Amino acid sequence: MKKVIISAITALVLFSCQNDQTESSAPEAAVASRRACATQDVLEAQLKANPALAITMNEIEEFTIQHGDKKFQGRLVNGKIEIPVVVNVLYRTTAENISNTQIQSQIDVLNKDFNALNSDYNNVPALFAGVKANIGISFVLDQVIRKSTTKTSWGTNDAMKKTAQGGIAPTSPTTKLNMWSCTIGGGILGYAQFPGGASSTDGVVIDPKYFGLSGSANAPFNLGRTATHEVGHWMNLRHIWGDATCGSDLVSDTPTHNTANYGVPAYPHYSTCSGTPVEMTMNYMDYVDDAAMYMFSTGQKNRIAAIFTSGGARASFAQP
């Protein structure tokens, strides 16, 4: 499962997120049938607007390679990094004004998924059992901010994060994870900003239909795993297929995938990429349904650890 680590700039600039757009012509109330994440598209737009960002992210990648085997440092709560979460709710309809109960359910899912406490963690096949990982990061709901709007959808240009465009500016983005719940449109479930971007737009955006345990009507994305996937991006994880055919996610213990997987793939799901016949479809960074994703790998854990260690891109979240 060893993969060649390609240059970060190549990975960032050339690879495009393979979003499924089949829902784009459907009514905004419709629930997507296939996962679509706009994180890579948003990154490419940011790189185009600010070419210097590529240098910053390349430096982060070099730091990650050097420090990926380090332990978390700094402030710990019960032995873990604890991240305060601010949820910004932008709503036009009652359904969009998600309840505190739904919001807390999302925090609960994050705590389970990032601490290997999810009930399906033991479903990881024997082939990958040796690399399944407990990330060891906890989340606590810090604040909920609500704002009524007349917008029917917000798109992916970060308008929801800007007061001047009717959104809500992030609260303390260098020490608190900001999440926005708002209708995105275009069949997009959510997106995140990778480490290295501007603090004024830092955080994770999730459509309210896929936020937390949002009810059986919103299956197959009603188990809160959209946020797990997007927070993974926020912690510097790539899509497992590297956003290219047989691409690299910059992690050595995840198999090379042909491309994104959807739905609930039967195991084993074989790749035609060189040297890695069975894909890790149950990884949170694939595109499968919520019920079909339930693990991070040790390599992904090490990659996350690097950004929180002293000198890392998100070290401020772990300061004493």
Q: Measured between alpha carbons, how far is 63 from 105 in angstroms, rounded to an integer?
A: 34
The predicted model gives 159-184 an average pLDDT of 98
Whether the CB-CB separation of 295 and 124 falls below 8 Å is answered with: yes
**∠ Cα 294 219 37 (to 5°):** 65
Does pLDDT of 281 surpass 80?
A: yes
Contacts of 122 (CB under 8 A, 6+ apart): none
Q: Measured between alpha carbons, how far is 71 from 214 in angstroms, rounded to an integer?
A: 35
With CA atoms as reference, report the closest residue to 184 among 164, 172, 167. 167
Identity of residue 176: K
Does pLDDT of 3 surpass 70?
A: no
Q: Measured between alpha carbons, how far is 49 from 60 in angstroms, rounded to an integer?
A: 19
Does pLDDT of 14 surpass 80?
A: no
Does pLDDT of 248 surpass 60?
A: yes
Specify the pLDDT at position 73: 56
With CA atoms as reference, report the closest residue to 298 among 238, 250, 254, 243. 254
Contacts of 273 (CB under 8 A, 6+ apart): 246, 255, 256, 257, 258
Whether the CB-CB separation of 271 and 3 falls below 8 Å is answered with: no
Percentage of the chain beyond pLDDT 70 is 87
Specify the pLDDT at position 218: 83
Does pLDDT of 211 surpass 80?
A: yes
Most confident of 9-13, 32-36, 161-165: 161-165
Q: Is the peptide bond before 173 cis (omega within 30 degrees of 0)?
A: no
Does pLDDT of 298 surpass 80?
A: yes
Catalytic positions, written as ranges: 230
What is the band of 276 on the pLDDT scale with cuts at 50, 70, 90?
Answer: confident
Pairing of strands 132-133, 296-297: antiparallel
